[in-house]
Amino acid sequence: MHKKLVVGLFLLLAIPALADQIVLKNGDRLTGSITKSDGKVLVIKTDFAGDVTVKFDAIQSITSAGDLNVTLGGKTVVGPVTTNGDNVVVATKAAGTVEAPKASVTLVRSPAEQAAYEKSLHPGFEEGWAGGLNLGFAMTRGNSATKNLNIGFNASRKGFHDKLALYTNSIYATNDLPSASPNNTTANSIGGGARYDHDFSARTFAFVNGDFYHDSLQHLDLRSTFGGGLGVHVIKSDATTLDLLAGVNYTHEGYGSFTDASDTFHKEVSNSLAGLTLGDDFIHKVGKGTVITQSFFFYPSLTSIRVSLNTSPPTTENVREYRGVFNFGTVTRLNKWLGWQNSFGDIYVSNPPNGAKKNDLQIATGINLSFTH
């Protein structure tokens, strides 16, 4: 019985030795599991206080019970960590004891953090996505009879050196009063696309994109734009990003009209355009709950061929045009997955056929359902 008591007491005394420990310069001690450090702060997970972040230069000594991945002056070593005065000592299995000044430490990761980091370098295609679904609906009855539905979706997958973004937005509205027939549709547009960016350096990147847009009231059957070019990260921080882009694109679009009797679309004009792509992308986080997004793209054509299909035989002419697409939006998070969104869009076409108006404004508001994977 006496031996069992001694063994039990020995095990209890040994438990703290199995944990990591840091001692601060003011004498405070923290015991737990060292998670990570960027050389400026260190995070240690404690049993009773959770994750505790301390300034790295406020640490007097470090003792780890197990291996840590430590980057010292660009070289990464693995092993239990202790300190010797102002130096960090790593007892590696391959290179023996490695000692270096604490000021040379740029990264510290636990085995779990290191495994997560290595996995993030080569994520599966289904991993790393974040985005949201925007929904807005309005309906009136009585002296008026209208319906309005707007749906938007965006998703992005960020890697260390690339980014893939998917997006779509649609607005549909009707005036259901009998006096409005047969032209009771007051808005019917849908657009979407994808863009892929790949970094060459911390500031420069290349991009390719494809965009598609349909607008019934402008008689636009489909506009398809494919392009690519180069970009610059003018601002790249956790709170704010600003990218400037420049490149070339090819656009094909078809305009036409609908017959009242059969509601069949007849293509009347086909445009083929080669032009420039000039634009910007801006994202800014306001506090912890609001994100502001803004983008503007300008597409001046360099060459343009317009084919009129409603003549026999079809006629061809050279027509220059330019387009501008401006988008501004905000999302204010109400909880982890629910938010409130507002969006404003303006699409301008300098030379639309069939007498259609040049400018289309779109304003929408509603809920935002966000997700991460």
pTM score over 0.75? no
Query: What pLDDT shows up at residue 230?
Result: 98
Q: What is the token pair recorded at 16?
A: 């703290």
Whether 98 contacts 89, CB under 8 Å: yes
Q: What is the pLDDT of residue 160?
A: 78
What would the pLDDT profile of 49-70 be if each residue is shown by its tens digit? 899 999 999 999 999 999 999 9
Cβ 98 vs Cβ 88: under 8 Å? no
The 8-class DSSP code of residue 361 comes to: E
User: Strand 59-63 to strand 20-24: parallel, antiparallel, or no bridges (unpaired)?
Assistant: antiparallel
Domains assigned to the chain:
14-121 (no CATH), 129-372 (2.40.160)
What residues of the chain score a pLDDT lower than 50? 5-16
The rounded distance, in Å, linking the Cα atoms of 358 and 349 is 5
CA distances from 318 to 53, 213, 370 (A): 65, 23, 45
**pLDDT at position 263, please?**
56
| 271-328 confidence digits (pLDDT tens) | 899 999 999 999 999 988 899 999 999 999 998 888 877 777 777 878 778 999 999 9
Q: What is the pLDDT of residue 180?
A: 56
| Predicted local distance difference test score (pLDDT) of residue 7 | 45
The pLDDT value given to residue 3: 54
